[in-house]
Structure 1
Amino acid sequence: MFNPSSDDVRRFFCETFRKQRANDILSPIEAMAADWIRHHPEYHDILSDVEAALARDFSVDSGQTNPFLHLSMHLSIDEQISIDQPPGIREAATALTLRLDSAHEAHHQIMECLGEMIWTAQRSGLPLDGDAYVESVRRRLK
Structure 2
Amino acid sequence: MFAPSQNDVRTFFCEAWRKHRAGEPLSAMDTLAAQWTERHPEYHADLSDLEAALAAVYTVDAGRTNPFLHLSMHLSISEQVSIDQPRGIRQAVELLAAKRGDLHAAQHEVMDCLGEMLWESQRSGQPPDPHAYLDRVRRRATA
Please list the CA deviations of residues 35-77 of structure 1 after superposition, one character each: whole Å capped at 9, or x if unmatched.
0011001000111100001111012222210000000000000
Distance 2:130 2:9 in 1: 24
Distance 1:15 1:74 in 2: 17
1:95 aligned residue: 95
2:32 aligned residue: 32
2:66 aligned residue: 66
2:5 aligned residue: 5
| AA of the residue aligned to 2:43 | Y
Please list the CA deviations of residues 3-42 of structure 1 after superposition, one character each: whole Å capped at 9, or x if unmatched.
1000010001001110010000000000010100110010
**Count of residues paired in the alignment:** 142
Identity among equivalent positions (%) equals 58
Equivalences for residues 76-95 of structure 1 within 5 A: 76-95=76-95
Instruction: Single out whichever of 55-64 and 11-20 deviates more from structure 2.
Output: 55-64
Gaps of 5+ in 1: none
Does 1:123 find its partner at 2:102?
no
2:112 aligned residue: 112
Does 1:23 find its partner at 2:23?
yes
1:133 aligned residue: 133
TM-score, normalised via structure 2 length: 0.97
Please list the CA deviations of residues 93-118 of structure 1 after superposition, one character each: whole Å capped at 9, or x if unmatched.
01001000111001000000000000
Distance 1:80 1:90 in 2: 7
Aligned CA RMSD, in angstroms, stands at 0.7
Structure 1's consecutive aligned runs of 4 or more residues displaced over 3 angstroms after TM superposition are none
Distance 2:12 2:126 in 1: 31
TM-score, normalised via structure 1 length: 0.98
Distance 1:58 1:20 in 2: 25
Secondary structure in 2 matching 1:140: helix
